[in-house]
Every structure is written in structure tokens, then in C-alpha cells.
Chain A
């Protein structure tokens, strides 16, 4: 059985299967199909979907809803991420599990509303003041849109942080043929489970932000249940009272970094297609990786050796998997629809190696996709 569908639909299905019951968003091409589908699908399932007066209100309502016990998602494009920025910081500081879909279009500013781009890669990583890590996943096909939406909810809950699902106009709005078996309807365990609160004695006060050791993640307890729950976006102690005590503040901020960076293995996700003897590694993500995989087939059909790496977990950079792939080649071509944002990360990894390995970029910023033949041109 096959179907003719697009990434927007797959994302909505993934969200519903992950137990998403709250959506707020503001219309913006090319993310609006998700808003409209969630408006249609959530309410009859007992969830809430609402169109905010702007992007700020939309993400704000999502954050509030999560603290009310909901599982929330919002969707926008680059200009909307600009407006989400301050609340992304709040979600990081307040440790709010939240899935943010960024259907990328060509920027900057209004840019090309109906034009494909992958220019938000560094933007989502550094979207807010303070410089704390976030998680970002990038599906490269419609079935991956489904699977990585589930994974985004899992990671958001697991690490109590905003998780970006980075797609693009091409992936979300181009209808494509999918074999239903490709979805591998992997429900993640019994849905996306919230961890149980750790045992504590009756005398011990409830602490909404208890992290010991620093990379540990406190379970989220929503309002209205058995504890009085405090939430704050200010530097705070474990009870969520504002503090400037250097030791407490330093510990908090180390925790916000460590819970993601020190748990990299749990987040890493790449698809490596490494060919023994290949000198060149193509590396890409999102819809560009689709063209890359097609080019791999064409190259090998012609008897040319090439390796390819599709990165699904863009942030934090899956350094272990990328390093392992880099070891096998002498030349890397990073393909992306921007001026080389992810290439910077690969250059950083390569610079830390002791032997030479060149990094090249294959970039387009004209609103067109990178075609398989452009990969092939970079093989010699």
C-alpha cells in the first residue's frame, strides 16, 4: 500500500501518536498546513488547538499548557523563530518540554515565503540569549518526518527542553509517494512517558528543579497535581526561588548545559552509508539529503565509490558518528541550502584531527534545490 502525502501530514500524525494534546501557532508559509491540520485533528480528540494573536503568544500559550500538564507543539518558519526567541530562552531556563517545528524557507526577513531554504541551522542553535544547548532533529524524508516527530517528543520529555524539528518547504509541501511500511510505526514504549518523580521522604520538600548530578534531569510535575509547583525563568535554586548566589547559579547553568551535552549518545542520530575505499564523504540533512542519496545510487551505478552521511540530529552535533565517518575519507563535501552553516561544525571537528582532510561546501541560496548531478560534479 502506498500513499501520496507530504511532510506536514506526517508531522501531524507523529505528534498525535506521541500524545500531543496542545497546539498553538500563527499562520506562516510554509508551516501553515500544520496549524490547519492540528486545528482540525486535535479538538475532536479532546486536545486544544488555538491560533495565537502572534508567534509570541503561540509559544507562550504552549509553555503555559505544558506546565498545566499538556504535551505541546508549535510550528513556524524562520521569521516566526525570530519571535519565538525570548520564549525559547524561557523554555530552556524553565526546563519546558516543547516541540518546535521550523519549516525553513529562504531568508533573511520575509525572504522567499514559498521558497526552500535551510538557513536556520545556526539560528535555532543560538536563538536566544545566554548560549545554552537545544536539541534539533532534521528529517530527510516523509517517513522520517513521522519518526522524528515522535523522537522529538521523546527527547523533549526526556531532557525537559525545547526540541526543534527542522524541516523545509520542500519536505513539508511537496507531495510524495510513500510506502506505508516505511513508517515503521515505532511507538516509543508506552507513548512518550514522563519519568516518575524520584522517591523522597515526607519531610523532604518538593523541589521542581532537582538535578544531582548536573546532567540529571528533574521530572516535570505539572500544576494541579499533588505538589505545589513553582516555575521561573530567572536564575533559581532547586525550589524555583530567585537567587543570585554564585554557587547555586553556576550549578544551575552547568546543569542546563550538561543535561544535553553530556548525554550526547542518547540523542545522536545519523544514517551512515559508508563505502570501503571511498575517498569522498557527502554529508547533508533535510530535503538536500534526499538528493544526496539519489546521487549515491547514480555514482555507484557508474562504478564510482562514495560515502554519504545523513545527519538527523543536527544539534547537539553528533560528533561520535561524524568523527567515525570522517576517519574513513580524505575529503568531505557538506551540502546545504545556506552559505555553509553546518559546514562550520564539520570544519571544527576536522580541525581537531591530527591529519589532513579537506572540507568543502556545496551550497545553494537561490531558492532551488541541490540536484543529484551537483553532488556528482563534486566527486572527482
Chain B
């Protein structure tokens, strides 16, 4: 508890319950070292959260008088990161087995990479104890487990090496027998950023008897695998939470996101629902052009919806934008058949063919030269190249749409200018220029 008066250091962070582990299991030993580390650090138990994974080691939190979080298999690191990000002053320690490093491997890797300030203790006994001695990501080659009856064929994961090379602030490999384990745990907790301690130990129920593993043999195994022990990695990096807060200074008042009030002040000639679609190519600002028209409609007292369709590739293929305008409120934003369609490219033409087929003589299609849309609707050609402005792929849609809107006369053209006037200063002038050039552009009836 922040500000609480802890006068004498706590003698223990354990509660009265005895450990439930098998005789000789390394878990109790490591937990004792963790307890000593917490005592050394002189922490307030209110400020410590033990996050346990699943498996025998997942029971661990129940033997401590600290805060505890016992969640799902492999996900312990994600909960720990959430706690730490929300409450940076808390000491968050994760206890997981080697099983957790498989199912939760990506979380370990990404927490290390981000360097979120939690400490992860892997109780690594090379197999799943609780479920019957199955092999895990750390089972050595040729080892016999209940699921590697002919000897393990999978290369064991180098937890520390992997996490250290990807940015973990502190990485330690050792065993439950290490003399200075409690100091190393304390060091991990103290170090800023993410700390991983890969602690090798014996599962006396399964792995040790099946593979004649003894405490002594554990050290031989480390040597055989050529893995360094002790503090095997340090990265002098800022804790993610600190970096996050530094990168995002808190500002006092902030505008409501997305609120751009539009005050209707222009006249609309439209007296019924009108459906308009623009079919062009991605990357040609079709959507922005239609958005401007929608806002102009709203400034004219109309209701508008805009629905966009584009392939997931975003910058290639078609871009179809559907604008519905109506003098009365409406909720159905689906397009039945456009009353007017503007076709700006081959991609758009292909996408809009269904609409072209459905349109009738009373409808109007506008197209740039050369596209030849097949339709019963009356066809008008607009040629942005003739506009009195340099036409690029960024303003072509808007020039053509402005030409179309001046022909259709749905609302006063001044509303479109006013909508452009509301744009961010960086776009305003170019946008105004484009719509004025569009209006001046003669449309040719076909």
C-alpha cells in the first residue's frame, strides 16, 4: 500500500500453508528463494503481485501472503503486463513452468521485446509434471518422457538466449540449487524492464526418474548443452511503461474525438433520396472527394451516408464510394441502384458493372473519356485533363466529382466550397482550386 508505514522488514511473505509438491520437487526450493528475495527487497506485500501460470508451479501463489493472479495456461505474462502497465508501482512476478514457454512463447518474446517491467521465473523441469510427464519446449534431445517414448527429437528451447537477444533487460540461467538464487531473483526484480530467470530443477515424479536426472547431473546437462549460466544477458533499455509515459505527455483538455460540427446554412434542391456512387481506383482519393460532397450535402440541410468499398490491398484495385443524400432522416445506408454514377477508371468500371446494368434511362452516368460504360442510363463525359488546374491522381476524382455535382444540381455549389473551407489548412487551397476547376469544366453529353 502506497504510503503505508512498514517499520520492520517482513520476516516472510509466505502464509501458513505448507507446499503441496512431491518430495524432492524443486518448486518449494525456488519459492523459498523467491520469498527470501522479497524479504531482501523489503517490499510491502500489498505492492507485490504473484502471477501464476498453470501446472504444479501454478499452485504457487496460494502459499504467499501477497496479491495473486492465477489465470490461464501460457497467458500469465499477458496478465502481468496488463497489471504492470496499469499500476507501474507494483512489483509483478510471474511464476510459470517450462510448459508455459511453449503455449505462451509469443507472449514471453513480446514482453521481452517491449521490455515491460515484470520478472518471469521459469520453473524449468523439462516436462509437464501436473499432467503426467509429457515433453515440453525445454526437454533435452533424446530425453524420455510420456510423449517421447523413443527419446525426444525436438531441439530444446534456449529461453534466456532467445529473450536476451530480443531485448530482455535481464536474463539469468541457473538451478534451484544455486547458492545465490535469492539474490539473483532480487536483482531481476530490481532491474528495470523485463527480467527472465530460467531456473532448472527436478521433477521427482516424472522427468528425474525417467532420465536418471539428479542434482549433480543437472549441472552436467547444462555443460553438455553448452549453455552459459549466471546472468547471461543484460540490455540497458528503458522500461516500456516509463518509455510509454515519456512518449505521451498528458495534456490537460482534449477535444472530443472526431467531432466536427456542421451547421446547415445552404439551400438544397433535392427533394427525395438520391443515390450517388463514384467508382475509381484505389489511391486516387475517391473517398475523400465523396466525403467532401457528403459534408456539403449536410451543410445544405440534407442527411448523408457514405459507404466505401475497396480491396484489402488499399493502394491497388477499385475504390467505390457510395453517397446517399436525402432531405429527411434515413437509416438504411444500402444502395439499391445509383441515380448517378461517376466512373473514373477501368477498375471502377468493372466494380460498377452491376450498377450500370441496373440503371435506367432516367439515371445518369458520368465517365472520363475512353471508358465506354455499357448502360441504358444517359451518359456524360467529363475530362479532367481539360480542367484549368494541374490534374494529378490526388485531385482527379475531386475535379470530376465537382463537374458532376455542378451538372446534377443537388445543392448549391457554394456548399461544396464551404465544405472545402472546413478542411485542414494544408488541403484547403488545393481542394478549392480543384472543385472550382471542376465546375468550370464543360461536360459533354453523349
Q: Give A residues with C-beta under 8 Å from B.
A: 1-5, 9, 12-13, 16, 22, 24, 29, 37, 40-41, 43-46, 48, 50, 52-54, 56-57, 60-70, 72, 86-87, 89-90, 94, 113-114, 141, 170, 173-177, 180, 222-234, 240-242, 287, 290-291, 293-294, 368-369, 371-372
Contact = CB atoms under 8 A, between A and B. Distances in A.
A115 B331 CA distance: 18
23 contacts: A3-B258, A3-B259, A4-B295, A4-B304, A16-B257, A41-B257, A50-B85, A52-B110, A60-B82, A61-B81, A61-B82, A64-B69, A66-B82, A69-B86, A89-B72, A113-B312, A173-B307, A174-B333, A175-B294, A176-B305, A224-B67, A232-B68, A371-B332
Q: Which of A3, A9, A64, A67 has the most CB of B within 10 A?
A: A64
A87 B86 contact: no
A5 B258 contact: yes
Nearest to A176: B305
> Which of B72, B84, B109, B250 lies at the interface centre, i.e. has the most chain A CB atoms within 10 A of its CB?
B72
B304 A228 contact: no
A228 B332 contact: no
Contacts of A293: 331
Given A174-B305, A294-B331, A371-B334, A224 B294 contact: no
Interface in B291-338: 291, 294-295, 298, 302-310, 312, 329-334, 336
Nearest to A140: B331
Interface in B247-278: 247-251, 254, 256-264
A180 B294 contact: no
B305 A177 contact: yes
A94 to B, nearest CB: 7
B46 interface: yes
B262 A1 contact: yes
A46 B250 contact: yes
A229 B67 contact: yes
Contact of B82 (A40, A64, A94, A173): A64
A95 to B, nearest CB: 13
B350 interface: no
Interface of B: 1-2, 45-47, 49, 51, 59, 61-62, 65-72, 75, 78-87, 89-90, 106-107, 109-110, 244, 247-251, 254, 256-264, 291, 294-295, 298, 302-310, 312, 329-334, 336
Contacts of A68: 82-87, 90
A24 B85 CA distance: 11
A293 B331 CA distance: 8
Nearest to A182: B329
Contact of A64 (B81, B263, B309): B81
Contact of A63 (B82, B89, B264): B82
Nearest to B248: A43
Nearest to A234: B70
Contacts of A224: 1-2, 46-47, 67, 87, 89-90
Contact of A228 (B66, B263, B298, B331): B66
A295 to B, nearest CB: 8
